[in-house]
Each structure stands twice: as structure tokens, then as C-alpha cells.
Amino acid sequence: MGVVSAILRGSAAACILLALPGAVMAQTNGCALQNGDGGRRILRCPGGVTVTAEAGASFTLHDRNGDGSPDSASLRRKAILVDVDSSRHSGGFQVVTPQAIAAVRGTQWAVDVGGGQTSVLVVRGAVGVRRPQGDPVILRPGEGVDVRSGTAPLEVRRWPGPRAAALLARLGQ
């Protein structure tokens, strides 16, 4: 495909962004798309939701309750940084990947998908992470978890500075 596109798909989705290598083609339904350094894309949406995607990230934003503000993202490849301003966003927000679901209310966290694994790092606030079937673990600032398919317990760990810095640098932080 080789393009970045933002497409409105009916009233059930506030905006959809498929970030693939290439040029920006459009913006949608109140979500402003901005180019960042290094091929990053920044999507600023109503309700205090900002999503920063590294170059080549592939994800979809959803507005399940139809209030005009996205409340979830489906992430298929690479990393996004989600910043939810709880003073402006009334509901929770979750990121769904093939291996995990990360959900919060008013925080900032990064989610990275690749190599059959989902990695979640909390920058600010707290995030619950679980497999599609399973109990959540709670991450606090500086903590992360790597989720692979399977049933092994999820292990919350404080991420070493270089690992956290490398992921956040991919996202312009």
C-alpha cells in the first residue's frame, strides 16, 4: 500500500489511522494529523486523546460509545504512545494487540508490537495489562511488561533506563 491514510468509517469510529511508510493523505472527523520528526505521526483527537505513532506503525482508533472521542486503539505493528488527559476524557482508553489488552484512565503509556510480543511501558499514571483471557497486572511509571501468547503469568518489571529510553526515542520522547 505504501501510504498513510486516515479514513472515517461510519459513526462507530471517530477516526482510523493506518500508519504505513509513505505520505499523509487525509485527516478525519475532528482528529488532527500532524507529521513529526523521523516519520512519526501525531494524532490529536477531541476529548484529550493524543496518539503518537512511530514510522511504520499500523493501528486503528475506535470511538465505541459515539461521543466523538476515540476510546480504544487496535495496534498491529510497531509502537504508539498514548496520552489521555483525564480532565478532558470522561471514559477509559484501551489498546488491543494480538497478545494483550492495556487499559487506563488518564495516563501516558507506550505499547510496542513486534516479533510475536507486545511490550507495554508506563510513563505516567497506572495501566492494567492482561491477555485477552486472563487477569490483569498493574503497571506504574517506569514499569513494563512483555506479553507473548500463552498462559504464563505476566511479570511486571522496572525497565532499565536504556530500554525505556530507546522505545520512547522512537516516539519522539
Of residues 106 and 168, more confidently modeled: 168
Q: Which residue has the cell 516516539?
A: 171
- Say if residues 127 and 142 touch (Cβ distance below 8 Å): no
pLDDT of 8 > 90? The answer is no
Between the two ends of the chain, the Cα-to-Cα distance in Å is 28
> What mean pLDDT is predicted for residues 42-51?
92
Q: What is the distance between the alpha carbons of residues 112 and 128, in angstroms, rounded to a whole number?
A: 15
Give pLDDT, residue 171. Answer: 96
- The pLDDT tens digits of the residues spanning 101-158 come to 999 877 899 999 999 999 999 999 999 999 998 899 999 999 999 999 988 999 999 9
Q: How confident is the model at residue 92 (pLDDT cuts 50, 70, 90)?
A: confident
> What mean pLDDT is predicted for residues 57-79?
92
CB within 8 A of 104, min separation 6: which ones? 82, 84, 92, 93, 94, 125, 126, 127, 128
Which pTM value belongs to this model?
0.82
Point out which residues pair with 49 in neighbouring strands.
45, 84
